[in-house]
Structure 1
């Protein structure tokens, strides 16, 4: 008999996309610049909507936004009217414009010999923050470090990166481990800290 896996309460679902996202991505430290841009962009799109809605449209977003290659996305302003007619994605002009603008910020950052990975992980001294929550209801919508990062990102030209979006992004990219302590991923992430999350 297969052993029952205990997941975070929000991942106890029949939605395969949501379950796979929880099991394989959420909370796992990410250092890939393009993937970090994708996660940030998806969190921007999620604001005010359900995460399941965003995941259901993720593949369509990848097709519409050059697989989140920010060097290409930064050039998409002329295509914005066309994007807003694409019924397969979330057609929100403010959010799409912010994503294109953020891609420009990242491209300029690289020209200055700094990566998005370095920029983000410097805020937590390159070590994931380990929280110890028993239930999803205990997890805050934001915290002081997310507010600090949000202020700096705004200063550096990022758009649509308020403290709530930033906190969710930190959770997704693994800067914070907010898996419930009973979740199998919480323990796995703690164990793999010593070997660089490989």
Structure 2
């Protein structure tokens, strides 16, 4: 199998992981790797990456709108106040991944984020501080070169856990960093690599 990004019917090369599923291709082209600076959106993505643990991302992507509805738009202020009734409601929602540990982890992470805010720390500024406010632009030629985690994701993971966040191991955190554009891990022959780097 060639290491180059496959050529799609529209004449564009894309990272192999998105395949040809239209939903996955749209996510690859529009979301993945685009620098995100909104704290609410960053919280949402960290939580969804936590829900992905043990699953394929396409599974979460297909349920993303249901997750957004079930979690009231992923507003940390609302989720931080969730108690047993809300956890039970989510556990009964067949549209989402029903893992009590992950649901409770989302609540725990929302509370950690609010604690940061109360101390005058903005979640977005905190995260982007780990890359000095600028995306790390990698130049991988092959999927085999892309790491599952890095020393930086390990450092961020350790600090998030220290602050009370849940489901944020170094592999989850690196996937998160890729998704929110803290690192540009589109392969160099993927049409999005240059586009994202220039954004």
1:41 and 2:47 are equivalent in the alignment = yes
Unaligned runs of 5+ in 1: 193-198
* Shift, 1:77, TM fit: 2.4
Residue 144 of structure 1 is matched in structure 2 by 151
SS in 2 for 1:19: helix
* Shift, 1:156, TM fit: 1.1
1:185 and 2:192 are equivalent in the alignment = yes
Give the conservation status (yes or no) of the 8 Å contact 1:106–1:116.
Answer: yes
* Shift, 1:147, TM fit: 0.4
1:155 and 2:165 are equivalent in the alignment = no
Unaligned runs of 5+ in 2: 1-8
From 9, 12, 19, the counterpart of 1:12:
19
TM-score normalised per structure 1? 0.92
* Shift, 1:71, TM fit: 0.7
SS in 1 for 2:60: helix
Aligned mates of 1:52, 1:127 — CA distance in 2? 28
* Shift, 1:137, TM fit: 2.5
* Shift, 1:135, TM fit: 2.0
Residue 4 of structure 2 is matched in structure 1 by none
Residue 195 of structure 1 is matched in structure 2 by none
From 91, 94, 97, the counterpart of 2:101:
94
Aligned mates of 1:189, 1:58 — CA distance in 2? 23
Aligned mates of 1:137, 1:42 — CA distance in 2? 25
Give the conservation status (yes or no) of the 8 Å contact 1:77–1:97.
Answer: no
SS in 1 for 2:73: helix
* Shift, 1:159, TM fit: 1.2
Aligned mates of 2:68, 2:196 — CA distance in 1? 27
Aligned mates of 1:143, 1:132 — CA distance in 2? 15
Instruction: Tell me the matched-pair count.
Output: 190
For residues 38-187 of structure 1, the aligned pairs below 5 Å read 38-78=44-84, 79-187=86-194
Structure 1 stretch displaced more, 152-161 or 53-62: 152-161
